[in-house]
Structure 1
Amino acid sequence: MIVVEKKSIQEKVSGNSGMFAKYRVAMVGDGGNLTLFLYELINFFCTPVPGISGVLFRRLFFPLLLGKIGTAVRIYENCTIRNGRNIVLGDNVCIEKEVTLDVKPGENKIVLGDNVIIGNRVIFNCSGGVISIGDGTVVGSHCRLGSLLGNTIGCHCRIGRDSCIVGAGHATGDLEKAIVRQPITCNGPSIIGDYVSIGERVTLLDGVRVGSHVTICSDSLVLQDIPDNCTVSGVPAKIISKESVQGRRL
Structure 2
Amino acid sequence: MNRSTFLYNCKQCLRWGKKNLKQIFCSRMIRKIYGVGNEVLCGNNVSYGQLKIFIYGNHNKIVIGDNCNLKCTNTIFIQGDCNTIVIGQNVIFDQNVQLVLSEGTKVEIGDDCIFADGVKIRTSDQHSIFNKGKKINRGRDVIIGKHVWLGASSVIMKGVNIGNGSIVGMCSLVTKNIPSNCVVAGIPSQIVKEDIYWEK
Residue equivalent to 2:20: 61
Which of 76, 91, 99 is residue 137 of structure 1 equivalent to?
91
CA–CA distance in structure 2, aligned partners of residues 126 and 204 of structure 1 = 16
Q: How does 1:22-41 map to 2 (within 5 A)?
A: 28-29=8-9, 31=10, 36=12
> Does residue 147 of structure 1 match 2:97?
no
- Bigger Rg, structure 1 or 2: 1
CA–CA distance in structure 1, aligned partners of residues 94 and 26 of structure 2 = 15
> For residues 184 and 151 of structure 1, do their structure 2 counterparts lie closer, same or farther at Cα, with a shift above 3 Å needed?
farther
Residue equivalent to 1:226: 178
Residue equivalent to 1:100: 52
> Which amino acid in structure 2 is aligned with residue 92 of structure 1?
N
Whether contact under 8 Å (1:75, 1:96) holds in the other structure is: no
> For residues 172 and 105 of structure 1, do their structure 2 counterparts lie closer, same or farther at Cα, with a shift above 3 Å needed?
closer
Aligned length, in residue pairs: 180
Where do 4+ consecutive residues of structure 1 move more than 6 Å? none
CA–CA distance in structure 2, aligned partners of residues 119 and 129 of structure 1 = 23
Which of 71, 78, 83 is residue 119 of structure 1 equivalent to?
71
CA–CA distance in structure 2, aligned partners of residues 93 and 76 of structure 1 = 16
Whether contact under 8 Å (1:124, 1:144) holds in the other structure is: yes
Residue equivalent to 2:120: 164
CA–CA distance in structure 2, aligned partners of residues 28 and 194 of structure 1 = 30
CA–CA distance in structure 1, aligned partners of residues 124 and 194 of structure 2 = 29
Residue equivalent to 2:39: 86
> Which amino acid in structure 1 is aligned with residue 110 of structure 2?
G
Q: CA deviation at 1:144?
A: 0.6
TM-score of the superposed pair, with normalisation by structure 2: 0.78
TM-score of the superposed pair, with normalisation by structure 1: 0.63
CA–CA distance in structure 2, aligned partners of residues 215 and 132 of structure 1 = 20
CA–CA distance in structure 2, aligned partners of residues 172 and 249 of structure 1 = 40
SS of corresponding position for 2:177: coil
Whether contact under 8 Å (2:30, 2:54) holds in the other structure is: yes
Whether contact under 8 Å (2:148, 2:165) holds in the other structure is: yes
Structure that is richer in helix per residue: 1
Gaps of 5+ in 1: 1-26, 43-58, 66-73, 175-182
Whether contact under 8 Å (2:98, 2:118) holds in the other structure is: yes
Whether contact under 8 Å (2:38, 2:59) holds in the other structure is: no
Identity %: 22
Residue equivalent to 1:207: 159
SS of corresponding position for 2:20: helix
Structure that is richer in strand per residue: 2
> Which amino acid in structure 1 is aligned with residue 46 of structure 2?
V
Q: CA deviation at 1:172?
A: 4.5
Gaps of 5+ in 2: 1-6
Q: CA deviation at 1:79?
A: 2.2
> Which amino acid in structure 2 is aligned with residue 90 of structure 1?
G
CA–CA distance in structure 2, aligned partners of residues 105 and 123 of structure 1 = 17
CA–CA distance in structure 2, aligned partners of residues 163 and 157 of structure 1 = 12
SS of corresponding position for 2:178: coil
Q: CA deviation at 1:76?
A: 9.7
Whether contact under 8 Å (1:77, 1:96) holds in the other structure is: no
